Amino acid sequence: MSIQRTGHRYRDVATGKTLDVWFPVSSEPRRRRCLAEKVGFVEGDFVDVAIDSLAAAPVSTEEAYLRLHLLSERSVKPNEINLEGIFGLLPNIAWTSAGPVLPGRVDALRERLAEEFHHLTVTSVDKFPRMTDYVIPEGVRVADADRVRLGAHLASGTTVMHEGFVNFNAGTLGESMIEGRVTPGVVVGKNSDVGAGASIMGTLSGGGKSRNAIGERSLLGANAGIGISLGDDCIVEAGLYVTAGTKVKLPDGSVVAARELSGQHGWLFRRNSQTGAVEAIPTQSQRWGGLNASLHSND
């Protein structure tokens, strides 16, 4: 798959380093304005970015930003394109109320903006900006924009509550409730719920190379977590963390490592309240009732 888009780029005036690129969905040249540009800290220009193959690794900051836009625009799904080396291509940026600047320039910018009667705020210092500053996909709710990075893939009907977090190259494939953490490489199927405080082990920072996922009509309970994939119609009870090596007792009395159940459909994972043993028993999505449809009609 090849693609070519025109974006608006901000660069640091002193070094010429690319800070960010915004690619309007229309692909028509559309200029942004910010106070950091007005007072001479950054400069904006238009840039044409062509990618011959999304299967090849990105080679520039501009190309990395285009790939993140494609994910958040839902033009591609998580794990479908190559993002190898993206951390090295994205500079660390101070995301401010006056626009993006290099972190070392914040104090000078704050001093300069006093003349403009502007109180500078810094929302984050990070390589990734907020998704909603660049892309707002149709049919989604995001309660706290700081918790959804550019490169998140949110299907129509997705609700991300205040404590929910969706990283880049991760997200939902249908109507979903996200109240926990969805880490890179993870996808959540239609009509599934990631409960408050829950987490899904990703592939960064010691998470290994296995890409975990949640199927359709499944529930990851509050403060629960998984280091395996859940198939369709699965439940993990609140507070239970199931890693790949967790020993799980099956209905026939045998005990297996949870990795042997990874991706299988129709399991309820629970901890026996008397023995403390982790158990898996057959279940159906009706055990938790499914999503409230009225909460995910995000028109």
Are 80 and 53 in contact by the 8 Å Cβ rule? The answer is no
Phi, psi at 2, each rounded to 5°: -110, 155
| Residue 179 known to be catalytic | yes
Residue with tokens 């700081």: 146
Half-sphere exposure of 287 (CA within 13 A, CB side): 18
Classify residue 288 by its DSSP letter.
T
Give the distance between the most distant pair of CA atoms in the chain.
74
Kindly calculate the radius of gyration of the chain based on its CA atoms and give it in whole angstroms.
Answer: 22
Are 58 and 82 in contact by the 8 Å Cβ rule? The answer is yes
Catalytic hit among 62, 63, 175, 179: 179
CA nearest 9: which of 39, 25, 29? 29
| CA distances from residue 225 to 96, 229, 248, 271, 286 in whole angstroms, order as listed | 34, 11, 15, 13, 21
Nearest-angstrom CA–CA distance, 75 and 67:
10
* Strands 93-96, 99-101: pairing kind: antiparallel
DSSP string, 18-76: EEEEE--TT-S------HHHHTTSEEEEEEEEEES-TTSPP-SHHHHHHHHHHHHTTSS
User: Which residues are identified as catalytic?
Assistant: 179
